Amino acid sequence: MLADLNSGERVTLQVSPETRTLVVHCPTATGRYEASHIDYDFKANPTAYFVLTARPTCVNIQPVDAKAATSLTRGTRERIARPVAYGAPRPATASASSALASAAPAIASAAPAAGADVAASVVAATTTWIDAFNSRDAARISALYDADAVLSDTTEPKPRIGAAAIADYYRTAAQHPTQRVALGERSIRVFGDTAIDSGTYNLFEMRDGQATLTPARYTLVYRNRGGRWMIVDHQTAPASR
C-alpha cells in the first residue's frame, strides 16, 4: 500500500504477478474514502506504468507505455520516502491511498515482487497484517499473532505479552476508524522457520477534517507454524520525519 502520493511525484510499486486490479483510495474531509480502480493483467505485463490525475471525487488512472512514462518522468520528482507496495495474494489487488492536491499528474510504475518463494510468503504475511490493521477489526488483527507473542509499543510503559493482552491493545481500533498504515522501506530476512520483516511505515489518520501522517519504525518477527507465518514479536516506535 502506498500512502500520501502528491501531485507531481513518481513512485515505484512492487506487486504480485497475480494482481488483477490497481485500486486508489482517496481520503475525504469527512473521514471516508473514495476509490478509483483499473483492471490490469500484471502477469502478462510484468512492468507497467500509470498516470494518476485528480478528479473531483478521487483520481483518474491511465496506463501509459514505457516511452510515454519516460517523458513524464522528466516532469515529476521521486517520492522521498520511496514507499514500496506489495499486492496481497488474498484479494488480488494492489492498493494505494492518495492525497493528490491538484490536477498535476503523479506517475506510478509497477513490477512483480522479486525474491524466493519463502520471502514472498513473508511479504504476504505482512500484507495480511496491513489489510487487517486497515480493516480496523481488532479480532482480525490479533488473530495474526502467536499465542505467546510479545508486542512492544514504545509509547506504552511495558510490552503486551500473550494473545489476550495483544487483543486488548487492538480494541481501540474501532475508536480510530480512519487510521491506515502504509509501508515504506523494508528488509526481510529468513532463517529457517523464523523470519524478520523490519522497516518503516506511515500511519495516516483524519483528525478534525485534517489529514495527519505519523512516521514510525517496525519489526515483525514471524515463526512458521504449520505452514502459516505467525507474529511472535512485534516492535514499533515513532520515527523522525
- Of 62, 86, 112, the position where a domain reaches its end is 112
Q: Are residues 8 and 107 in the same domain?
A: yes
Q: Are residues 125 and 104 in the same domain?
A: no
Q: Are residues 124 and 79 in the same domain?
A: no
pLDDT(207) > 70: yes
- Of 112, 138, 161, the position where a domain reaches its end is 112
- Of 82, 112, 142, the position where a domain reaches its end is 112
SS3 state of residue 199: strand
CB 220 within 8 A of CB 237: no
Q: At 201, which CATH number?
A: 3.10.450.50
Q: Are residues 182 and 69 in the same domain?
A: no
Domain that includes residue 43, residue range: 2-112
- Whole-structure pTM over 0.85, yes or no? no
- CA-nearest of 211, 205, 218 to 175 is 205
CB 40 within 8 A of CB 61: no
- CA-nearest of 192, 190, 212, 215 to 202 is 215
Q: How far is CA 47 from CA 39, 77, 96, in A?
A: 15, 20, 17
Q: Which of 106-115, 207-216, 228-237 has the lowest mean pLDDT?
A: 106-115
Q: Are residues 63 and 141 in the same domain?
A: no
Q: Are residues 105 and 129 in the same domain?
A: no
Q: Are residues 199 and 134 in the same domain?
A: yes
**pLDDT tens string 4-43:** 566 777 777 777 777 777 877 776 655 556 778 888 888 8
For residues 146 and 191, give the distance between their C-alpha atoms in angstroms, rounded to a whole number: 18
Q: Are residues 31 and 60 in the same domain?
A: yes
Query: How many domains would you assign to the chain?
Result: 2
CB atoms within 10 A of CB 50: 23
Q: Are residues 86 and 145 in the same domain?
A: no
**pLDDT tens string 51-79:** 888 777 788 888 888 888 887 777 777 76
